[in-house]
């Protein structure tokens, strides 16, 4: 797979998920956070996470080019964010199936980012 195509796919996924979290925080995060997802505090935090993912995705798109130095940095930042999301979810205490899916999604994002990072050199 072409690394620029892979980077665009990862960036588009980040932007899409980030927009969902930012624009509809209660709906997008209910399975992750639970009934508290509708609170003002939770909505604020979820919107901030959404904005972070949009920024990471836009940064990745802007960094795609022949020199992979900047793109590697954006990919690495995304890996850290995904690992932090997974860890925060595990530390959250709930063990229902939806939370497990969030951990799997975060781990998958980190793994794909790690694969892409290795391909970028």
Q: What is the pLDDT of residue 66?
A: 87
Nearest CA-CA partner of 76 in 121, 114, 115: 114
Q: Which residues of the chain have pLDDT under 50?
A: none
Task: Record the pTM.
Answer: 0.92
Q: Total structural domains in the chain?
A: 1
Distance CA 114, CA 80 (A): 10
Task: State how far the Cα of 10 lies from the Cα of 33, in Å rounded to an integer.
Answer: 24
Query: 13 in helix, strand or coil?
Result: helix
Structural domain of residue 28, as residue ranges? 3-120
């Amino acid at each position: 797979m072409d690394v620029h195509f892979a980077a665009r796919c990862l960036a588009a996924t980040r932007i899409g998920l980030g927009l969902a979290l930012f624009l509809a925080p209660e709906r997008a995060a209910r399975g992750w956070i639970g009934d508290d997802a509708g609170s003002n505090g939770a909505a604020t935090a979820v919107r901030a996470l959404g904005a972070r993912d949009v920024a990471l995705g836009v940064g990745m798109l802007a960094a795609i080019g022949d020199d992979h130095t900047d793109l590697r940095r954006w990919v690495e930042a995304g890996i850290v964010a995904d690992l932090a999301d997974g860890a925060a979810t595990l530390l959250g205490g709930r063990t229902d199936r939806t939370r497990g899916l969030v951990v799997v999604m975060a781990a998958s994002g980190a793994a794909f980012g790690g694969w892409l990072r290795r391909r970028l050199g």
